């Protein structure tokens, strides 16, 4: 799934503890303490009497003693905020049951039993959006990671797999559509009430259970699998939204075809349902046969969705579908193995999206996300391996490290093995572990055996946190070019000492005179230092390294600005070309921020950056999508990562100063560029998408260097726009300018899309993320807007996460930005703790910020920590952030 959560109150974890601790004491769950479940649940039957105000759940569990257990006669059934109205064992009232904190314990003497339990839920009161909850009159569930225990008492752990039969009934006028996992086997009605029975033949853990009931309409289609089976496909949405599901359906069919062709994985049911929900903590969830999606990853048309929205829908649709094998058919033994399914599936969706569009641009986008989200995790107080050793709250480990770095680690295996041998390894993995709850070690072993690799030392990537730092230096003598590499793995919390890890690095040596190289080489740095020599270079070549971003490391190259300008213009590896451009800008900005540049040096370095950008602007061999990537300046957060102690104000000033200088220096070029791409008509092809991308990039430079000209152009682009990409790009530029056109465009945008929640989210986010000098005041006003609510995670993120990711505003010298986010966390925690917890990490970066701001950030964390009755989600994040 895209992101996950669970509720706030402490619960006992049956995998690692004998008895629940006092409610106030945090439970630390450790991977080393794992033991198999005492009891298995081969079959589960659920009967729901549905109502938004009250829903009754009757569960029948067929349980069997686990031969791999210790023989304990007690079964622990997890609960969270629920009460048992009745309990029976083998048809008799259960007299031997008792509560242990939130959990239900029953002593069982035999080896097989049937346990019946009745619970009553209040879906409309469930603001945590975990378990069964109400969303705009519809009922739906979210059970990963530990939400099923909010529905009924159950051994809620991923290594207990069960075959589910689900019956639900309710008033037909309120819930005309009744959906669950698997296939609908029976249905009927009696007066105003109707019912449906669903059966999922594939055993699954409880976190994959799903139920949806409400007023829905579907976009229906079919797909024929490689073995000739016909699969019915439905995308269910609110009436009126069905016309915006076409792209999602095409993405689903493309995903199914791609997974057959690339990984040999065929869908295993006759029905696949997707439901779009507006109140959802995450992006989407891979429940077997019934994926539940945030509406933002389903609904799209040119008028309301940007090109980035279209890409995100395609990627998330693919991600959740691919989970059918990498997550559902083979699931996790325990939650420490989360990257087993998420890291592997992220890699699969990345490869899919690359095949569907521009492979080069997709790779750059993936790396940008890694660097902006995961690198800060690795260098901060929340650093953890992709397979964590312990946790208090599992929802806090649905992180960029587990997902994105996990994908990069598996990609390295693919790089070392090659695509064909890697496929042999994944085939072996699915063959060995189909229908099982597996571990990361099981996956690595399958790749090792199937691909013929020795991954003994490589396993360190699963156990060591931190981003490896690689220093590269090129030596040249007697016709030999030698690449000298050194690696260090930085200290992270709980891991003061690190071992060298195998780092696969693709490199090439360019001849400056010809602009060509003699071939790409793959070297593996598996020691602290090593030299790699290449003959046949009479003149000193130019080193291109970590091509394709072959390893998730930070590379420091001992090279010149002249070499970087050369690579930015000549490198035939798209990522390496982009990286040279980024390195050139980073080198200049870091020097300028540190005050180490004289006027002449500043001019020389800026001229080098200008020369590199001009080479991209006028390179006829470049497509516009890639040209747009080369024009994007490094993010302020990434610049901060390059410094031991960062001054956000200085970073912002220097970065915007460089943009303004380039906008003024190259004003005519950017104007000509904007004119050229403005003539390209709307389309979904790469050329049209590239043109729209360049429109926005040109406007951003002009807004910094020639704001009056940019305001006129942006207002004209906004007025003439026939698609959301152009309209949003123009509005984004106007939002950062203190000009009359800004307010006019904002008012028009809100009126034009009144009633469209997803587009109004954009309206909030554009203002909160803008460069306008009064953005703090704007966010305060927007928080009181009639369209704003703390009850919808999308709306909260659109305003406050956009603000928290806006360095100039969040890091205001007064500390007001920090206080605003801390206030939000405290207000939101009782309503939706999982969403609240995700606002803590921006404050947790205080150790890497200059002293004045650092003290203010730490003070807000201490204020949160001193607040009584914090959720476990927020408490763990704050405690670790303070250290």
Which residues are known catalytic residues? 320
Instruction: List 62's β-bridge partners, or say none.
Output: 43, 114
What angle (nearest 5°) sits at the alpha carbon of residue 21, between those of residues 18 and 23? 145
Please report, to the nearest 10 degrees, the dihedral formed by the alpha carbons of residues 40, 42, 47, 48 taken in order. 60
Query: What distance in Å separates the CA atoms of residue 35 and residue 431, rounded to the nearest whole number?
Result: 25
| Cα atoms in the Cβ-side hemisphere of radius 13 Å centred on 49 | 6
Query: What distance in Å separates the CA atoms of residue 182 and residue 199, rounded to the nearest whole number?
Result: 5
Phi then psi for residue 3, to 5 deg, are -165, 150
**What sections of 724-796 are H helices per DSSP?**
724-735, 740-752, 757-768, 775-783, 793-796
Q: Quick one: which of 290, 95, 266 has its CA closest to 180?
A: 290
Query: What distance in Å separates the CA atoms of residue 72 and residue 836, rounded to the nearest whole number?
Result: 39
Taken in order 748, 751, 754, 760, the sign of the CA dihedral is positive
- Copy the structure tokens of residue 570: 């000549």
| Cα atoms in the Cβ-side hemisphere of radius 13 Å centred on 784 | 4
- Copy the structure tokens of residue 145: 């990671």
CB atoms within 10 A of CB 790: 19
**What sections of 534-631 are H helices per DSSP?**
561-570, 574-593, 599-617, 624-631
Query: What distance in Å separates the CA atoms of residue 61 and residue 77, rounded to the nearest whole number?
Result: 11
Q: Which residue has the tokens 């203002």?
A: 767
Element (H, E) at 312: helix 307-322
Long-range contacts of 805-810 (CB under 8 A, 24+ apart): 805/637, 805/769, 805/842, 806/768, 806/769, 806/770, 806/775, 807/636, 807/637, 807/640, 807/648, 807/651, 807/652, 808/636, 808/648, 808/652, 808/771, 808/775, 809/768, 809/775, 809/776, 809/779, 810/648, 810/842
Cα distances from 372 to residues 82, 387, 691, in angstroms, run: 39, 21, 25
Cis peptide before 145 (omega within 30 of 0): yes
């Amino acid at each position: 799934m895209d992101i996950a959560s669970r509720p706030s109150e402490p619960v006992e974890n049956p995998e690692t503890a004998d008895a629940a601790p006092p409610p106030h004491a945090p439970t630390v769950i450790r991977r080393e303490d794992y033991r198999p479940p005492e009891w298995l649940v081969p079959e589960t039957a659920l009967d729901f009497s549905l109502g938004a105000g009250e829903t009754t759940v009757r569960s029948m569990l067929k349980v069997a003693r686990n031969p791999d257990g210790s023989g304990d006669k007690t079964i622990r059934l997890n609960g969270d905020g629920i009460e048992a109205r009745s309990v029976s064992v083998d048809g008799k009232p259960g007299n031997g049951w008792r509560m242990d904190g939130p959990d239900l314990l029953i002593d069982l003497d035999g080896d097989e039993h049937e346990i019946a339990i009745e619970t009553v839920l209040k879906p409309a009161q469930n603001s945590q959006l975990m378990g069964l909850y109400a969303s705009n009159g519809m009922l739906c569930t979210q059970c990963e990671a530990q939400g099923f225990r909010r529905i009924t008492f159950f051994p809620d752990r991923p290594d207990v797999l069960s075959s589910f039969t689900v019956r639900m009934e309710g008033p037909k006028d309120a819930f005309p559509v009744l959906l669950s996992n698997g296939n609908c086997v029976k249905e009927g009605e009696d007066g105003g009430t109707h019912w449906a029975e669903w059966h999922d033949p594939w055993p699954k853990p409880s976190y994959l259970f799903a139920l949806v009931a409400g007023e829905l309409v579907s976009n229906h289609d079919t797909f024929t699998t490689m073995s000739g089976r016909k699969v019915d496909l439905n995308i269910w949405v609110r009436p009126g939204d069905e016309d915006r599901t076409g792209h999602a359906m095409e993405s689903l069919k493309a995903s199914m075809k791609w997974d057959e062709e690339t990984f040999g994985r065929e869908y295993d049911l006759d029905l696949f349902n997707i439901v779009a929900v507006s109140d959802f903590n995450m992006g989407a969830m891979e429940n077997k046969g019934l994926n539940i999606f945030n509406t933002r990853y389903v609904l799209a048309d040119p008028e309301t969705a940007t090109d980035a929205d279209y890409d995100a829908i395609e990627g998330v649709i693919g991600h959740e579908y691919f989970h059918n094998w990498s997550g559902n058919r083979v699931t996790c033994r325990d939650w420490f193995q989360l990257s087993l399914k998420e890291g592997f599936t992220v890699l699969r969706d990345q490869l899919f999206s690359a095949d569907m569009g521009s492979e080069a641009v997709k790779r750059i986008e993936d790396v940008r996300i890694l660097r902006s989200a995961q690198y800060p995790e690795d260098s901060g107080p929340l650093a953890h391996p992709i397979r964590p050793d312990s946790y208090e709250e599992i929802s806090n480990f649905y992180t960029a490290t587990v997902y994105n770095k996990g994908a990069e680690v598996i990609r390295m295996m693919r790089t070392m093995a090659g695509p064909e041998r890697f496929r042999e390894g994944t085939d072996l993995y699915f063959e060995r572990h189909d229908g099982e709850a597996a571990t990361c070690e099981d996956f690595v072993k399958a790749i090792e055996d199937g691909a013929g690799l020795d991954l003994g030392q490589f396993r360190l990537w699963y156990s060591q946190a931190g981003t490896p730092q690689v220093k590269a230096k090129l030596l040249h003598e007697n016709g030999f070019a030698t690449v000298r590499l050194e690696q260090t793995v930085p200290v992270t919390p709980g891991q003061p000492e690190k071992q060298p890890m195998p780092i696969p690095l693709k490199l090439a040596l360019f001849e400056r005179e010809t602009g060509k190289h003699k071939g790409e080489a793959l070297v593996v740095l598996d020691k602290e230092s090593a030299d790699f020599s290449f003959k046949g270079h009479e003149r000193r070549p130019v080193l291109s390294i970590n091509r394709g971003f072959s390893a998730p490391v930070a590379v420091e190259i001992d090279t010149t600005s002249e070499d970087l300008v050369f690579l930015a213009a000549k490198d035939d590896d798209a990522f390496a070309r982009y990286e040279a451009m980024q390195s050139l800008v980073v080198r200049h900005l870091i020097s300028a921020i540190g005050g180490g540049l004289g006027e002449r040096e500043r001019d020389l370095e800026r001229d080098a950056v200008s020369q590199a950008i001009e080479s991209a602007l006028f390179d006829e061999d470049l497509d516009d999508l890639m040209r747009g990537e080369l024009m994007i300046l490094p993010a302020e957060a990434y610049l901060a990562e390059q410094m031991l102690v960062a001054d956000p104000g200085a970073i912002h000033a220097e970065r915007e100063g460089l943009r303004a200088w380039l906008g003024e220096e190259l004003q005519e070029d950017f104007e000509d560029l904007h004119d050229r791409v403005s003539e390209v008509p709307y389309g979904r092809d790469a050329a049209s998408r590239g043109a729209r991308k360049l429109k926005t990039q040109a406007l951003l430079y002009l807004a910094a260097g020639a704001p009056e000209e940019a305001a006129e152009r942006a207002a004209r682009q906004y007025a003439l726009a026939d698609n959301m990409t152009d309209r949003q790009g123009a509005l984004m530029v106007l939002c950062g300018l203190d000009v009359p056109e800004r307010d006019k465009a904002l008012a028009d945008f809100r009126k034009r899309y009144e009633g469209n929640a997803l587009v109004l989210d954009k309206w909030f986010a554009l203002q909160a993320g803008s460069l306008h000098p009064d953005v703090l005041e704007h966010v305060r006003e927007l928080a009181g807007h009639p369209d704003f609510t703390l009850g919808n995670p999308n709306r909260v993120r659109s305003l406050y996460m956009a603000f928290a990711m806006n360095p100039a505003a969040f890091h205001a010298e007064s500390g007001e930005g920090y206080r605003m986010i801390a206030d939000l966390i405290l207000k939101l925690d009782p309503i939706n703790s999982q969403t609240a917890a995700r606002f803590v990490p921006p404050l947790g970066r205080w150790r890497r910020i200059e002293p004045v701001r650092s003290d203010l950030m730490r003070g807000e964390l201490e204020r949160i920590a001193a607040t009584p009755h914090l959720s476990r989600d927020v408490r763990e994040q704050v405690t670790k952030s303070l250290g």
